[in-house]
């Protein structure tokens, strides 16, 4: 019995080692191998490349975070995510306390922001499991860094008016891609996508912000039912030149000053409202078929 028990222990102990030895070791990954790895991890991505074609970028979303994987070369990888700005001293405190990632402070015409980065060098040979862990570890670092920024004083700063530059900085630090153009009255509009919905934000001189997203027309009775059930948005039917449509809208009164954190929350909350109304509208359309 003792001999059999010892043999069983040896057998169990050997299995993990054998599995680790069987795992493939790589020192570089071609773009098609990177894409296969991301697909294996159920990551949907958008690929782009540098003008010279020697660097490749993979943009994807994990939870609420918009991440970029940069392949500087077949053996040099970097994950990064843009966050809101904090004082450079706070960035240094994070770097002094963390082990795997690093944060960096940036400032441009739109304002301050920080970037969380995590690199991996394949040159010495790493297992495919280690590359997958590289992705998982960054997920954890993102959440930790986000919590670290949660007490950021920048979100409590009161803005006398919300400038276009401030909005652009907020979009950037929320990982939202946008396009900007002026309307006929000279105010700027920002087009972007949240929760799968195309949204437009209007900045009326920094004192009044408005967002809307358009849908196929629903009946006024259903418009009223929805308005009775929601707190911070409104639904309105419009008749345009060529088409009738239903619009989901929200305004933010900035006349007396708003915090940056409030603007951030307002934008993200409207994304949730847009998704909720899209489901409501879809159910109505299906019921009419």
CATH code, 255: 3.30.1460.70
Q: For the purposes of burial, counting CB atoms within 10 Å of the CB of 98, is it exposed (0-12), middle (13-18) or buried (19 or more)? A: middle
Res 156: pLDDT: 67
Res 119: pLDDT: 95
Distance CA 190, CA 184 (A): 14
Distance CA 84, CA 146 (A): 10
Res 155: pLDDT: 63
Residue 6 lies in a domain: no
Residue 236 lies in a domain: yes
Q: In the chain, which residues have pLDDT < 50?
A: 1-21
Per DSSP, the residues of the chain read -HHHHHHHHHHHHHHHHHHHHHSPEES---HHHHHHHHHHTT--EEEEE-TTSS-EEEEEEETTEEEEEEEEETTEEEEEEEEE---HHHHHHHHHH-SS-EEEEEEETTEEEEEEEEEEE-TT-EEHHHHHHHHHHHHHHHHHHHHHHTT-GGGGPEESS--HHHHHHHHHHTT--EEEEE-TTS-EEEEEEETTEEEEEEEETTTEEEEEEEEE---HHHHHHHHHH-SS-EEEEEE-SS-EEEEEEEEEE-TT-EEHHHHHHHHHHHHHHHHHHHHHHHHHHHHT-
Q: Which pairing describes strands 102-108 and 25-26: parallel, antiparallel, or unpaired?
A: unpaired
Res 4: pLDDT: 41
Answer yes or no: do 168 and 218 share one domain: yes
Distance CA 261, CA 252 (A): 13
pTM of the model: 0.63
Structural domain range at position 239: 158-287
Res 138: pLDDT: 94
Q: Could you give the number of structural domains in the chain?
A: 2
Residues 90, 93, 99, 105, CA torsion sign: positive
141 to 16, 102, 121, 134, 145: CA distances (angstroms): 27, 9, 18, 11, 6
Res 229: pLDDT: 92
User: With contact defined as beta carbons under 8 Å apart, do 228 and 215 qualify?
Assistant: no
Residue 5 lies in a domain: no
Answer yes or no: do 65 and 111 share one domain: yes
Answer yes or no: do 283 and 164 share one domain: yes
Answer yes or no: do 261 and 197 share one domain: yes
Q: Which CATH number goes with the domain that contains 115?
A: 3.30.1460.10
Query: Which of 119, 138, 154 lies at the terminal end of a domain, its last residue?
Result: 154
Answer yes or no: do 246 and 149 share one domain: no
Res 75: pLDDT: 94
What are 132's two structure tokens?
């997958």
Answer yes or no: do 86 and 195 share one domain: no
Query: Which of 154, 178, 205 lies at the terminal end of a domain, its last residue?
Result: 154
Residue 15 lies in a domain: no
User: With contact defined as beta carbons under 8 Å apart, do 105 and 173 qualify?
Assistant: no
pLDDT digits 0-9 by tens, 236-263: 999 988 899 999 999 999 998 998 888 9
Residue 61 lies in a domain: yes
User: With contact defined as beta carbons under 8 Å apart, do 47 and 68 qualify?
Assistant: no
Q: Rounded to the nearest 10 degrees, how much is the dihedral formed by the CA atoms of 196, 267, 141, 94?
A: 160
């Amino acid at each position: 019995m003792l001999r059999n028990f010892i043999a069983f222990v040896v057998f169990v102990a050997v299995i993990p080692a054998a599995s680790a030895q069987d795992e493939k070791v790589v020192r570089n990954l071609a773009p098609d191998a990177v894409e296969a790895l991301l697909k294996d991890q159920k990551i949907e991505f958008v690929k782009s490349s540098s003008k010279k074609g020697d660097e490749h970028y993979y943009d994807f979303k994990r939870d609420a975070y918009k991440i970029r994987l940069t392949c500087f070369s077949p053996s040099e990888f970097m994950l990064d995510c843009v966050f809101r700005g904090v004082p450079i001293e706070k960035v240094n405190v994070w770097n002094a306390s963390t082990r795997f990632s690093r944060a960096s402070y940036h400032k441009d015409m739109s304002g301050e922001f920080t970037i969380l980065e995590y690199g991996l060098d394949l040159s010495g040979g790493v297992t495919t499991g280690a590359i997958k862990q590289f992705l998982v570890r960054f997920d954890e670092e993102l959440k930790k860094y986000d919590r670290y920024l949660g007490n950021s004083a920048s979100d409590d700063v009161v803005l006398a008016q919300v400038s276009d530059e401030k909005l652009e900085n907020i979009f950037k630090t929320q990982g939202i891609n946008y396009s900007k153009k002026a309307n006929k009255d000279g105010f700027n509009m920002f087009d972007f996508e949240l929760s799968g919905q195309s949204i437009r934000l209007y900045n009326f001189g920094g004192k009044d912000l408005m967002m809307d997203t358009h849908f196929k027309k629903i009946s006024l009775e259903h418009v009223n039912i929805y308005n009775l059930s929601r707190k911070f948005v409104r639904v309105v039917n419009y008749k345009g030149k060529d088409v009738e449509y239903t619009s989901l809208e929200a305004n933010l009164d900035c006349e007396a000053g708003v915090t940056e954190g409030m603007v951030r929350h307002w934008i993200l909350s409207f994304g949730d409202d847009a998704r909720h109304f899209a489901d409501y509208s879809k159910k109505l359309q299906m019921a009419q078929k």
